[in-house]
């Protein structure tokens, strides 16, 4: 008959669980960086300033009901409009002189108007694409990480 040291088994189990959680957190962190990089390199919208939406992608790892969760975030208020697009809408001047002032690329001239009929914008789905890229990579990262922890 072979004896099993339950104290040692419990200690090994605690060690395994701690290493597993640390590995999952590390690989989620890596996937978050991959997603941020994906937005910078592969999103199709134009970078219009040095502090562009492309450069404002961040991520957090939070504990959720099912374990840890990776969440991508954008600090720019217009991120949802770029992600999901906008329907046709009017833009009304709210500044003190009552006029909008902007350069119209299509006509190559400056425009001054009280109201503009905006045709809307197409959805770019940059967040969805970045999330999907991170998800695809995460499977491989977790598989190799689990092999390291199980040794």
Tens of each residue's pLDDT in the chain, 151 residues:
577 888 998 999 999 999 999 999 999 999 999 999 999 899 888 877 767 888 888 999 999 888 889 999 998 888 999 999 999 999 999 988 999 999 988 899 999 999 999 999 999 999 999 999 999 999 899 998 888 888 7
- Does 23 share its domain with 67? yes
Q: Looking at the domain assignment, is residue 61 inside a domain?
A: yes
Partner residues linked to 100 by β-bridges: 113
- Does 67 share its domain with 107? no
- Does 15 share its domain with 57? yes
- Does 52 share its domain with 68? yes
- Does 64 share its domain with 98? no
- Does 37 share its domain with 77? yes
- Does 75 share its domain with 94? no
Whole-angstrom distance, CA of residue 143 vs CA of residue 137: 10
pTM: predicted TM-score of the whole model, two decimal places: 0.75
- Does 114 share its domain with 128? no
Whole-angstrom distance, CA of residue 135 vs CA of residue 24: 13
Angle at 102 between CA 75 and CA 114, to 5 degrees: 105
Our count of domains for the chain comes to: 2
Tell me which residue range forms the domain holding 27.
Answer: 6-84+122-150
- Does 48 share its domain with 79? yes
């Amino acid at each position: 008959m072979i004896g099993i040291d339950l104290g040692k088994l419990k200690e090994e189990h605690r060690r395994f669980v701690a290493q597993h959680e640390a590995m999952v957190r590390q690989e989620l962190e890596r996937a978050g960086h991959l997603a941020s990089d994906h937005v910078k390199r592969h999103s199709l919208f134009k970078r219009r300033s040095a502090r562009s939406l492309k450069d404002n992608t961040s991520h957090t790892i939070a504990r959720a009901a099912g374990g840890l969760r990776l969440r991508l975030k954008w600090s720019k208020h217009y991120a949802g409009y770029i992600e999901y697009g906008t329907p046709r809408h009017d833009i009304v001047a709210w500044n003190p002189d009552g006029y909008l002032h902007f350069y119209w690329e299509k006509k190559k001239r400056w425009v001054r108007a009280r109201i503009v009929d905006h045709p809307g914008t197409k959805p770019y789905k940059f967040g969805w694409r970045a999330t999907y890229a991170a998800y695809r990579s995460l499977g491989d990262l977790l598989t190799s990480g689990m092999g390291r922890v199980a040794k």
